[in-house]
């Protein structure tokens, strides 16, 4: 593979990673909106939402971790790439000098801990809204 193809592959994986995060944010936003608009208390619905979200979050985290590992692997190949002699060597050297220092992907552990913290906060928010509904219902009676 040529250097520019490796860079393209790296950025393709970056775009895929960004889509996984976008889907995650959309699902969390929709779930929290749904939970906040519910009027009646219903522990079964809250429990079902929690379980479904946990399943989604687990699969989403797996996809994000896999893509993160792919980016790390591609980056290591980019750094090890030996260009052909001639004009390509000069071009690659200039790109390396300016571009490679900016390629600093998050590690798998950083991604995992951030995702898990967001998952726990989302679940806590779902249950906090259920508790709020219960308190409001008790105050009304």
Q: Where are the domains of the chain?
A: 3-140
Give the pLDDT score at 83. 77
pLDDT of 111 reads 96
Q: What is the pTM of this model?
A: 0.85
Average pLDDT, the chain: 91
Phi-psi region of 86 (alpha: psi -120 to 50; beta: other; left: phi over 0): left
Confidence band of 128 (pLDDT split at 50, 70, 90): very high
What percentage of the chain exceeds 90 in pLDDT? 65
Structure tokens at 7: 């860079």
**Is the pLDDT confidence value at 105 over 90?**
no
For residue range 47-102, list pLDDT tens digits in order. 999 999 999 999 999 999 999 999 999 999 998 888 777 767 777 888 888 888 88
pLDDT for 89: 77
Own/partner pairs for 50-56, CB < 8 Å, 24+ apart? Answer: 50/123, 50/126, 50/127, 53/27, 53/119, 53/122, 53/123, 53/126, 54/119, 54/123, 56/27
119 confidence band (pLDDT: 50, 70, 90): very high
Domain 3-140 class, CATH top level: mainly alpha
């Amino acid at each position: 593979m040529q250097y520019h193809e490796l860079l393209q592959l790296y950025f393709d994986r970056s775009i895929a990673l960004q889509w996984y995060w976008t889907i995650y944010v959309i699902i969390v936003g929709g779930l929290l909106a749904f939970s906040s608009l519910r009027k009646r208390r219903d522990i079964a619905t809250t429990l079902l939402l929690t379980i479904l979200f946990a399943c989604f979050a687990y699969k989403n985290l797996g996809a994000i971790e896999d893509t993160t590992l792919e980016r790390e692997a591609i980056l290591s190949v980019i750094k090890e790439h030996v260009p052909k002699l001639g004009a390509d060597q000069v071009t690659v050297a200039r790109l390396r000098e300016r571009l490679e220092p900016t390629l600093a992907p998050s590690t798998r552990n950083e991604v995992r801990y951030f995702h898990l913290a967001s998952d726990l906060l989302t679940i806590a928010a779902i249950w906090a809204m259920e508790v709020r509904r219960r308190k409001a219902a008790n105050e009304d009676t």
